[in-house]
Structure 1
């Protein structure tokens, strides 16, 4: 007898329908799994056998063949334990139910208890799009799957509860959807009120947060570069529902959603160590997984001690920063992950850290300083919208007991500026000034005549590239939005231009 039901598979961030077919026939007892399964899928044979016996069901002493279709797509992970078990029960006549509009996903323990799996949110979205009515998933993943409206998501604690539901003995009520925004699950974030001094750097980070611009922080050791970057998430604008769903999909595929977790409403902050590989940043592996730049999607990717990163790791960021997505190609196919991030990098100006320091002498030779700075390539430097010098903090600022402006106050201005951008860019698919496309740039970034003259002078005297000029224009637009000005005025353009001056101080000294 042949039984058929449905499950889901993952390829990148997208899910596809998998037909699970079980055939029980005469012959030597064996249990075969076909349909391009990986090692974890093949191991489900032992988990399913033990779960069936320990839950009081009969394991057929026959030839069992389970096919996972389509057979040309690789099936990965332990998510097929549950559908394989249910298919065998149906094929042996131990379960009789209409499962044509049901989808089963889940890993089993040997006792029949359910264990959490990754990728539930994209699977639930695909199940709804393909017209299924019921999705049966581990209870630990219920909050994540229930985000999808129009689909009955049943939290299954164990095999006995599932069979009781399918036979009508005791129904498992669908999980309720929870789309309400939640605070930071990691607790309170560092606040700008606790940062002494550095008003100029705080202003630059406010502009960056408002328009999603990339930032390079340069300064001596102990000046507060890392602390400023870690405070940045506290002023980032609120996430929309679409942002939260897309961010959650990436972390769901990566297996980063905690048990019982739902939507991610806090913008990600990723800070990989400088020993990270190119694949760790961009994504990859034999089984393609998202890298740090995709895990930071809609949030911040912070690279501390930038020159210490491998050159090939830094260069792999260039195209994703421009495109807002990264494509990873393998023999088996290509996977594209979104990576609309705000890149924040911090570095010292030389190996000892005190080149240009007002009081401490630099002990590095000119060649050592040049070698250190030249670890940052020109194309990558050109993609940094704001170059910000973080000077050492004086005694008076450090010893002052007066609190600085809080992150909450700064965030209000950031949210107001981002709302202006949303209204202006509505219907274009663009959410912030940093992502303005070339065809919209001059329409959106309207300059007054004096501002245009100022930018022309800056372009000619500073030798800006076309990319650098576009980025100056976008930063000017953000500064004008913070000032609630429809037109970019000279004061807005002048502030944007000054954030492109540090490469002349450090990289183009001669």
Structure 2
């Protein structure tokens, strides 16, 4: 016996959905108006192609849910509106609120939409599918004063990072209607904390790299203050290994950073689990385009590698081999810690506060200065010129990674490999980062010494009289730019933190000065 379908009544209803975005989603009002007249079914409010296609998805989902009448079967004029109209709506995240607005307006269901926000894609059989950017939606819902959030079960873990919300993990249109019809018996699933994935001893450990003590010291300083660092030297000396070892020595993200980073990767579709507790490590290929590194693309404004590396590491191996326009594009994020993207389909400002690790050879063949070098002088000059002065000035540390004698690379018979360097480096960096978090706890957007703006330096990076004299003399001799001057102070502050000194002394300043850019 066929299930009797309900008749579609005329009426009006309003529910709430959300458009995922960075750093926070936009709350969208979803309205449905049903009146008598010639059959029509339209979605208005600046929808993109995927939102337009929602008409077919929600019609099929409603038809395949028991006792519900599809909007395409009615003889009414149905208009669904997404407000504000000026905001571009994209993605399938509006399927569920559109369906519920129609069902509420047509009197096929009844519930109080106050305090409730809905976000989900609908399958043709009425099941719900996971969405991108769910964490940004949860943050927006909390900040806008919503009390209940209805999302796919697949996205529950990331949304549960946000406190102050009653989160309902739903599996189908029928399921959410049952919850809304009988709210008392239904309880939202308990929030389960995602276990932290700590680095293991084999995660690119420093212990695996023999020798290169000065390079390791430079890397520890860079990681402690999130400073940009360039590792340069002949091929095969361990530059890439050193860079990748950074992932194993950085401390966990703070609670606020976890929300920032997870939101970005949720929206980009690169989230592997419910949350990211470890700093991201991104390593784009040297053939990467401008859009893939900075963001954008033909399908809309999307975050690039610079944003995906936010609060983590952006590793640029073979740095001079990147396209010149890509290298130049790093000037803004290296200075302002954000990227500005303007496209015909929209514009956006994305966070991009990362630590750059650039690995490069001194010439195309890599053996400049030795008898093995086969490069002509003009070829070497062209190769080095790809890294412009402004980009080089934004790199805080230039560290040489020289060739090591063979006897240092080979483990002597009977010698046991020691695995203490990585743990020691982790402890030093964690201690320095703890000092910095306490120092900047009242300043929004400043987490590390590298984040300091010039106005913060006088207050938080105090120089002793002798250290200031040392810097002034070096600034004249080395012809430091204003940027180089400030970056040297910030680097010296990190070195002092590693030494647990309250003020910056001459030894800290001298070590910082030796890392400034010079002839490769």
TM more than 0.5: yes
Q: How many residues align?
A: 500
Are residues 250 and 26 of structure 1, via their aligned partners in 2, closer, same or farther at CA, if it must alter by over 3 Å?
same
Mapped pair 1:110 → 2:124: yes
Asked if residue 454 in structure 1 is aligned to residue 470 in structure 2, the reply is yes
Deviations 1:74-127 (CA, angstroms, capped at 9, x unpaired) = 110001111111122222222111122211110011111111101111111111
1:178, CA displacement in angstroms? 4.3
Is contact 1:350-1:373 (8 Å) kept?
yes
TM superposition shift of 1:188: 5.7
Aligned residue for 1:356? 369
State the distance in 2 between where 1:41 and 1:376 align: 44
- 1:328 and 2:338 equivalent? no
CA offset digits 1:187-246 (Å, max 9, x no partner): 962111111211111100100011110000101111111111111011112311011111
Out of 504, 507, 510, which is 1:488 matched to?
A: 504
Gaps of 5+ in 1: none
Give the aligned partner of residue 135 of structure 1. 149
Q: Does 1:217 align with 2:231?
A: yes
Cross-structure match for 1:373? 384
- Aligned residue in 2 for 1:424: 439
- Aligned to 2:356, the other structure's residue is in SS state strand
The answer (yes or no) to whether the contact 1:147–1:178 under 8 Å persists in 2 is no
Equivalent in the alignment of 1:264: 276
Match of 1:403 in 2: 418
* Deviation >6 Å, runs of 4+: none
Distance in 1, matches of 2:201 and 2:136, equals 27
How far apart, CA to CA, are the structure 2 residues paired with 1:149 and 1:402? 46
Q: Deviations over 1:119-159 (max 9, x none)?
A: 11111111122221211101000111121111111000111
Secondary structure, aligned partner of 1:124: helix
2:351 to 315, 334, 338: 338
| SS class of match (1:112) | coil
**Contact 1:156–1:172, Cα closer than 8 Å, also in 2:** no
> Given the superposition, is the C-alpha separation of residues 425 and 133 from structure 1 closer, same or farther in structure 2, using an over 3 Å criterion?
closer
Paired position in structure 1 for 2:289: 277
Structure 2 residue 44 is matched with structure 1 residue 34: yes
CA distance in 2, matches of 1:442, 1:88: 59
Question: What does 1:236-275 align with in structure 2 at a 5 Å threshold?
Answer: 236-258=250-272, 261-275=273-287
8 Å Cα contact 2:50-2:90 kept in structure 1: yes
| TM-score w.r.t. length of structure 1 | 0.93
1:312 aligns with 2:353: no
User: 191, 197, 208: which one pairs with 1:177?
Assistant: 191
Q: CA deviation at 1:389?
A: 0.6
Distance 1:43 1:187, change over 3 A: farther
* 1:180 CA displacement: 5.9
Aligned to 1:18: 28
Distance in 1 between the 2:70 and 2:511 partners? 74
1: distance between equivalents of 2:143 and 2:183? 30
- The whole-number CA distance in structure 1 between the counterparts of 2:23 and 2:496 is 37
CA drift of 1:339 comes to 1.0
Partner deviation per Cα, 1:5-59 (whole Å, 9 max, x = no partner): 1111234432222121122333333321111110000111111111112222221
Q: Distance in 1 between matches of 2:509 and 2:368?
A: 29
What is the match of residue 217 of structure 2?
203
- TM-aligned CA distance change 1:363 to 1:226, over 3 Å: same
Give yes or no for the alignment of 1:465 onto 2:478: no
Partner SS, residue 162 of structure 2? coil
Aligned to 1:44: 54
CA contact (8 A) 2:301 2:346 kept: no
* Superposed displacement of residue 375, structure 1: 1.2
Q: What corresponds to 2:18 in structure 1?
A: 8
SS, match of residue 7 in structure 1: strand
Which of 56-65 and 207-216 deviates more? Answer: 56-65
Question: Structure 2 residue aligned with 1:229, among 243, 262, 280?
Answer: 243
Which shifted more, 368-377 or 185-194? 185-194
Tell me, yes or no, if the aligned pair for 2:219 and 2:246 is still in contact at 8 Å: yes
Is the partner of 2:432 in helix, strand or coil?
A: helix
User: TM-score of the superposition, structure 2-length normalised?
Assistant: 0.91
Moved more, 298-307 or 482-491: 482-491
